Amino acid sequence: MKKFNARQFIPYFVLMVIIAVVLLTFGINTKNWNKLTYNELITELSQGNVTEIVTEEHKADGVYYITGKLKSYGNNDYFKVYAPLSENVQEELTAYYQNSEFKWEVSTNPENNSFLLILVNVVPLVIMAVIAFVLFSRLSGANKGSMDFGKSRAKLVDEGGKKFKDVAGLDEEKEEVEELIDFLKNPKKYNKMGARIPKGVLLVGPPGTGKTLLAKAVAGEANVPFYYISGSDFVELFVGVGASRVRDMFKQAKHTAPCLIFIDEIDAVGRQRGTGLGGGHDEREQTLNQLLTEMDGFGANEGIIVIAATNRPDVLDPALLRPGRFDRQVTVSLPDQKARKAILDVHAKGKIFDKSVNLESLSKRTPGFSGADLENLLNESALLAVRRNKPAITMEEIDEATDRVLMGPAKTSRKYSDKEKMLVAIHESGHAVVGLKLKDAEDVHKITIIPRGQAGGYTMMLPPEEKMVVTTKDELLARITGLLGGRVAEQLFLGEITTGASDDFSKATKIARSMVTRYGMSDLGPIELEEQSEGVFLGRDYNKNRDFSDAVALEIDKEVQKIINSCYKETTRILKENEKLVKLIANTLVEKETITKEEIEELVTTGKLSSSSDESLKELKEEAKELGIKGYTKMTKEELENEIKNSTEK
C-alpha cells in the first residue's frame, strides 16, 4: 500500500487558507448601500425611521463611520454616513437612542485592536512567505542536479547480499577477480610482498552475460563500499562538469577506502580521442583525460579498485587500457551448456515446475542465450502459466517462451489464406529437409508456420554439439545450403518464387563473402581482403582505403557468386531426391501448424504421425464434457489433464 505523504497536500492547504483569509477580510459584497449625509441621518432619527445603527470611530481619518437600516429599507438595503469627529456625534446619537427604540452597536476599529491588526497585516505576509518557500523548495529539488554541477553521480550501493554463489556459470571469471577480494580484505599481505594489485579491471562481453552482477558479487564478497555509476553520468552539456564529477568521485572513494568503483558502459566516456568527424577537444574528451589522470594519481595500494564494463572494447582509447590503469581484462563470454544449466537452476528458485520439465535438456536447446535471456525465458514461462491458469510451469509454456524470446509473440489473429499457408509450409519444409538430409547441417528441432515478429514462419535448427571457437568450411557451406532451401522448394514444388527468402539471401551472402574476404576459403587463397567494419562515429568509414584493386573486387564477387550457385545446386539436388518428404512435412504443417523434433523424426521414419495422441485427446475431451468443464474444446491435452484432475479432487 502506498504510504501517506502529508507534504504533497501542503500547497492545497495553503491555497485554502488564502481563500479563507481573503473572504473573511474583504467579504463578499452583496449589500445595497445608500449614502446619506449626517444632517439627513439626524432628520431620520428625529422622525423615528432608523431601526439599527453601527458606529465605528476612525481617528486616523478623523471621521465616524456610521452604517444602519431604515424602516423603509429591504433586507439587503443599508445606509452609510461619514461624520467628522469634530461634531458632537456621540452625544447626539445617545440623546436620540434614549428617546427612540433602535438597535445601536459600537464596532471596534481594527486600528485599535492588536489581534485584528496582526491578522490583517502580518498573516498575509506569512502566507506569502510559506508559498514562496514551498515553491522554491520544489524548484530546487527539481533542479538539484543543475545546482550541483560538479558533484559525483556515483551511488554508494549496499551489495552485502550479493555473493559468488548468486553468480552462476562464470567460474573462470570469478577466479580472475578472487585476488581482488583477497587484497581488499588483507592489503598488508600484498604490501609486504611489494605486489601491485591491478588498479582497474575491465569486464568485456556481450550484453546480458553478467558483468554488472559479477562486479556486485566482488563487492559483496569483500564487504567493502561499492560505488556504482554509468559512463553517461559523467557527460553533460556544460563544459568541465564531467571532469569535475570524476574528481569528486575519486575524492569520495579515498575517504572510504578500501572500496570498489564500478563504471558501467564505460565506452560512453572512454572512446578514442581525436577520431570524431570534426576532431576537437570536446567535453567527453576532457572527462576521459581527467579519468586517466585520477587513475594515475592514486598509489598502487591505496585500496581503490576501479571495475568497468563494456561490450565495445574496440572503441576504447588505448591510453585507458595500458598497464597502470585498466591492467586486466576479463572476458565474460556467453555461457556454454554447463553454465546455462547452472544459470537456469539459479533463476528457477521460487518457481513451480511440472515434473515433465527438464532444465538439463532446456540448457542444451538454448545455445547462444545469455544469462539475461535465460532469466527472461523462465519469467515468460511463469507469466504464460499464470495466464493459462495452470498450477505449474510445463514444457508447453517453456517452448512458447523460447519462441517469444527468439522471435516475439505469436500473431494468432493473423489468418493465412489457403494458398499463402501452403507457400509458407513448402518454404519451411524446404529448410527442414535440407537440415535432415545434409551431412554437416544443424539438427532440426521445430518447424512452425505461425507468424512471429517479421517472420511468417521459421525452422529452429541447432548444432548437434556446441562449438565455442571455430567453424569448418563444410559447416558454413551447409548453413548456406540450408538457408537456400526455402527458395528452392518454392520454385520446385509451387512453380513460383516469393519475397519470403529475402532474409535467407542476406544471411547466405554475408557468410559467403566472409568466406572469401576474411576466412580465406576460396580460390583467391588465404588472404584477408576486408576487415570487420568500424562504427561510423569513429570517423573511419568515410575515408576508408581499399585494400584491393578493381580486378580483385571483381574476383571477390565471382567467388561469392560461385559459392552461392554451388550451394543452390546442392539444395536443388537434395530436395528433388526427397520430394515426398518435403510434401509430407508441408501437408502436416498445414494441418498442425507446428511440428516438434519427435514428430519430425516420426514422419521421416514412418511417413506419418501416429493417431494415438489424437485418440487420447478425444477421450480427455469426452471426460471433460461429462464433468461439465467449460471451454474444454479449446484446451490442449495438458490443460485438459489438469482441469480433469482439479475437478476430480473437488
pLDDT tens digits, one per residue of 304-345: 888 888 888 888 888 888 887 888 888 888 888 888 888 888
77-84 vs 32-35, strand pairing mode: parallel
Tell how far CA 162 is from the center of its chain.
22
CA 496 to chain centre: 44
The dihedral built from the CA positions of residue 15, 16, 17 and 18, taken in this order, carries a sign that is positive
pLDDT band at residue 545, thresholds of 50, 70 and 90?
very low
CA–CA dist 535, 554 (Å, integer)? 26
Among 646, 289, 76, 421, smallest CA distance to 281 is for 289
Q: What pLDDT is recorded for position 248? A: 80
Helix or strand run (H / E) with residue 227: strand 226-230
Least confident of 60-64, 114-118, 195-199: 114-118
Question: Grid coordinates 544469462 are at which residue?
Answer: 371
Task: Please give the pLDDT value at position 537.
Answer: 43
Q: Side-chain half-sphere of 145: how many Cα atoms within 13 Å?
A: 12
Instruction: Decide if pLDDT at 548 tops 60.
Output: yes
Q: What is the mean pLDDT of residues 132-144?
A: 60
- Number of CB atoms found within 10 A of residue 463's CB: 14
Highest mean pLDDT among 112-121, 129-138, 480-489: 480-489
Q: What average pLDDT does range 462-466 have in this prediction?
A: 75
Q: Average pLDDT in the 336-365 region?
A: 86
Residue 516 in contact with residue 522, Cβ under 8 Å?
yes
Contact 65, 80 (CB under 8 A): yes
Grid cell locating 38: 449626517
Torsion, CA 502, CA 508, CA 510, CA 515, rounded to 10: -170
Mean pLDDT for 404-418 is: 73
CA distance to 170, 220, 468, per residue, from 214 (Å): 8, 10, 22
Q: Is pLDDT at 573 greater than 90 in this prediction?
A: yes
- Please determine, for residue 100, whether its predicted confidence score (pLDDT) is greater than 80: no
Cα–Cα distance measured from residue 98 to residue 104, given in angstroms and rounded to the nearest whole number: 11
Per-residue model confidence as pLDDT tens digits over 246-294: 888 888 888 877 788 888 888 888 887 765 544 445 677 778 888 888 8
| Rounded average pLDDT over 629-643 | 67
The Cα 183–Cα 259 span in angstroms is: 11
Please name the residue that has the C-alpha cell 539444395: 571
**Could you identify the residue written with the cell 553533460?**
236
302 or 399, higher pLDDT: 399
Q: How many CB atoms lie within 10 A of CB 344?
A: 23
pLDDT of amino acid 137: 66
Mean pLDDT of all residues belonging to the chain: 77
CA distances from 26 to 19, 80, 111, 430 (A): 11, 17, 16, 89
> For residue 17, what pLDDT band results from cuts at 50, 70 and 90?
confident
Structure-model confidence comparison of residues 14 and 568, the more confident one: 568
- pLDDT(646) > 80: no
Instruction: Quote the pLDDT of residue 108.
Output: 62
Distance CA 581, CA 558 (A): 34
Residue with grid cell 587484497, as numbered in its chain: 183
Q: What is the DSSP letter of 316?
A: B
Report CA 542 to chain centroid distance, whole Å: 34
Which comes out higher in pLDDT, residue 631 or 260?
Answer: 260
**What pLDDT score was predicted for residue 510?**
93
What local confidence, expressed as pLDDT, does residue 575 receive? 92
In the sheet that holds 326-331, the strands lie side by side as: 155-157, 226-230, 259-264, 304-310, 200-204, 326-331
**Cα separation of 196 and 297, whole Å?**
15
Closest CA to 460 of 405, 509, 497: 405
Check residue 544 and give its pLDDT: 43
Catalytic residue among 265, 294, 428, 593: 428
Nearest to 583 by CA among 422, 420, 416: 422
* pTM score over 0.95: no
> What DSSP string describes 68-101?
EEETT--TTEEEEEEEETTS-HHHHHHHHHHHS-
The distance in angstroms from the start CA to the end CA of the chain is 34
Q: What is the mean pLDDT of residues 64-82?
A: 81
Nearest 10 degrees: CA dihedral of 530, 532, 535, 539?
Answer: -40
Poorest-pLDDT segment among 22-31, 182-191, 484-493, 556-565: 22-31
Q: What confidence score (pLDDT) does residue 477 get?
A: 92
Q: What is the mean pLDDT of residues 106-120?
A: 59
Q: Which residue has the higher pLDDT, 531 or 573?
A: 573
pLDDT band at 239, cuts 50/70/90?
A: low
Reported as a pLDDT band with limits 50, 70 and 90, residue 44 is confident
- Known active-site residue 559: no
Say yes or no to pLDDT of 534 above 50: no
Whether 302 shows a pLDDT value over 70: the answer reads no
